[in-house]
Amino acid sequence: MLSQLLFHLTGLPLFDGRLFRAGAAALLSALLIFWFMPGFTRFLRKIGATSDFDSQAKTSVPIMGGALIVPIIAVVTLAFSHFNSSVASLLIIMLAFFAVGTLDDLAKIINKRKVLAGKITRQDYQEKADGISARLRLFLYFLFSLLVAVFAYKFIPGMSGHLTVPFIKHEIWHPYLPNWAFIILICLVITSTANGANFTDGIDSLVSVPIITTALFFGFVAYISGNVVLAKYFLIPHLPGVDELFPFAAAIAGSLGAYLWFNAPPASIYLGDSGSIALGGAIGMAFVLIHAELFLPIVGFIFVAEALSVFLQISYFKLTRRLRADKQGQRLFLRAPIHHHFQIMLKDQYPNKQELNSKIAWRFHLVSLFTLLLGLLIFFKIR
């Protein structure tokens, strides 16, 4: 909207160019985070918006950084994107999942206060299950995903059940899913990505880089897919209007790049469920819109590994408890999600906790960068 206004007022094609609008979105979102985050962090500390039990408010780390980041991304996207059904579906998913994540964060804060007031025991307060119930979260995920999936299937041009398969040219194999199956796939992609991002948000800065790299992937692919000349050159389907996701991806990258300034170890604020769930759901929807659903396990490998480790841990424990004579379940990992497994495994090698967490986070970041390059290489060249 802002870019369109500037274009009409000045007549300069610069303000209507997608590259300029994406760059402006990245820059503005980063500047807004740098400007507002310090005051927002102080405000959250003042109201006790933390999930830990630190009695000193000055050292407690707030958990609701997403409550600032997500609205900024939404506003910047509206300012620099030409609003269409693709942009609308992304914003709806992001804001709906933002509401779920915010509700979960608030429940955590309330439960912490109940522990401090003696209304519930500290044993009842679990780090990842202290908000709203997992069943309620999953129900809301699927409900919002289903509504947006039906909307996207009906109103977005080019949206169909055709899938782009890694390593295989479009002309050779372009499998098709019927309406009901494709809508279910959309729901699964969005829900699993939101869950994976939520599980990844467990160490300072850990979730930020995977979100940035997946955003860069769908932004780059969206820019090329939306341009008929570039799409033809790279031998990929032309998807009209999907290039307007490029400023959205740039806004995510810019805002989280600035957020890393505050979240780098030791963190002064955490993304929280309000941010990780919202951005994870938006990324899942974006991969659907660019017809790259099957590339998400490659580019978003960290999200998949985190979510899969939790699923395998729970399944293996329940299975062994059922099969063993003593009814004692066994664990596949030392702890799940998998970054906690590495924390325990490497604690003797790195006795300093901050050093240990930084080592794990940076190795995960490097994996995210490698999978981004691998995903781009496979999508555009290895077919």
Greater model confidence, 219 or 330? 219
Neighbours of 330 (CB within 10 A): 11
**Residue appearing with tokens 């293996």:** 316
| pLDDT tens-digit readout, 99-158 | 999 999 988 888 777 776 666 665 655 544 456 777 888 899 999 999 999 988 888 877
Give pLDDT, residue 135: 83
Greater model confidence, 122 or 56? 122
Note the pTM of the prediction, 2 decimals: 0.93
Give pLDDT, residue 76: 97
- Nearest alpha-carbon partner for 359 in 373, 371, 347, 374: 347
Lowest pLDDT segment from 40-44, 56-60, 62-66: 56-60
Mean pLDDT to the nearest integer, 310-318: 90
How much of the chain exceeds pLDDT 90, in percent?
60
Paired tokens of 139? 């129900």
Give pLDDT, residue 144: 93
Neighbours of 154 (CB within 10 A): 10
Residue 127, judged by CB atoms within 10 A of its CB (0-12, 13-18, 19+), counts as exposed
- Answer for the pair 226, 242: CB distance below 8 angstroms, yes or no: yes
Give pLDDT, residue 128: 44
CA dihedral sign of residues 90, 37, 263, 257: positive
Q: Residue 211 above 90 pLDDT?
A: yes
Beta bridge partners of 162: 176
Residue 156, judged by CB atoms within 10 A of its CB (0-12, 13-18, 19+), counts as buried
